[in-house]
């Protein structure tokens, strides 16, 4: 139990730094496709390290969620776990699909990785919405904030998945997801499942 709580809480806390780094990296990258992938390869040390760290942190979150799903027998934890497992498929695509590949191959890897990432988040955030909706552990005001944030961000990811807005447009919700991950980290510390 303690290790699962540590994985969930530490992964949720530290992924905030990764989100900030990704926003900075994305804002500095050129928008033109060929120049963008050239920029990624020229800065592969930063990009590769960033994605490996994120992969590790998201794996920690997935391990914690899986333990909580098994021990609590709550469907919300199962949904969260499935979302996290889908999300994990993003990282090998980015790590293997961008480095020293043709622009066409890198773009294909990017499209697949983005689709997997967005779908994983729809499921993960939907699971968080239902977890916090029925939660009795958090203070009422913090629970309401968690429900609203999980619901809003899940809707935004659904809109991206439906191809109504782009992933780049959706990145404005980054700070909301940061807050939600902080709540997740706190929640993991308070959680008691025997």
pLDDT digits (tens, 9 = 90+) for 154-180: 999 999 999 999 988 898 888 899 999
- Global pTM exceeds 0.75: yes
pLDDT tens digits, the chain, 194 residues: what are they? Answer: 799 999 999 999 999 888 888 888 888 889 898 999 999 999 999 999 999 999 999 999 999 999 999 999 999 999 999 999 999 999 999 999 889 899 999 999 999 999 999 999 999 999 999 999 998 899 999 999 999 999 999 999 999 999 999 988 898 888 899 999 999 999 999 988 65
- Backbone region of residue 100 per phi and psi (left: phi > 0; alpha: psi in -120 to 50; beta: other values): left
- CA-based max dimension of the chain: 53
pLDDT digits (tens, 9 = 90+) for 126-145: 999 999 999 889 999 999 99
Task: Report yes or no: 144 and 155 within 8 Å, Cβ to Cβ.
Answer: no
> At residue 135, what are phi and psi to the nearest 5 degrees?
-70, 145
How many whole angstroms separate alpha carbon 63 and alpha carbon 54? 14
């Amino acid at each position: 139990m303690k290790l699962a709580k540590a994985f969930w809480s530490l992964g949720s806390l530290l992924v905030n730094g990764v989100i900030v780094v990704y926003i900075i990296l994305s804002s500095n990258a050129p928008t033109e496709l060929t120049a963008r992938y050239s920029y990624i390869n020229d800065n592969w040390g930063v990009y590769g390290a960033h994605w490996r760290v994120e992969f590790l942190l998201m794996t920690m979150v997935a391990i914690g969620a899986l333990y909580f799903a098994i021990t609590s027998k709550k469907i919300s934890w199962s949904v969260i776990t499935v979302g996290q497992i889908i999300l994990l498929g993003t990282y090998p695509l980015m790590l293997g699909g961008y480095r020293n590949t043709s622009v066409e191959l890198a773009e294909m890897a990017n499209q697949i990785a983005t689709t997997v990432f967005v779908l994983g988040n729809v499921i993960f955030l939907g699971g968080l919405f239902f977890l916090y909706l029925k939660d009795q552990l958090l203070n009422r005001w913090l629970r309401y904030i968690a429900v609203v944030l999980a619901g809003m961000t899940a809707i935004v990811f659904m809109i991206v998945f439906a191809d109504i807005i782009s992933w780049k447009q959706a990145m404005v919700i980054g700070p909301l997801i940061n807050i939600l991950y902080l709540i997740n980290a706190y929640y993991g510390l308070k959680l008691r499942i025997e």
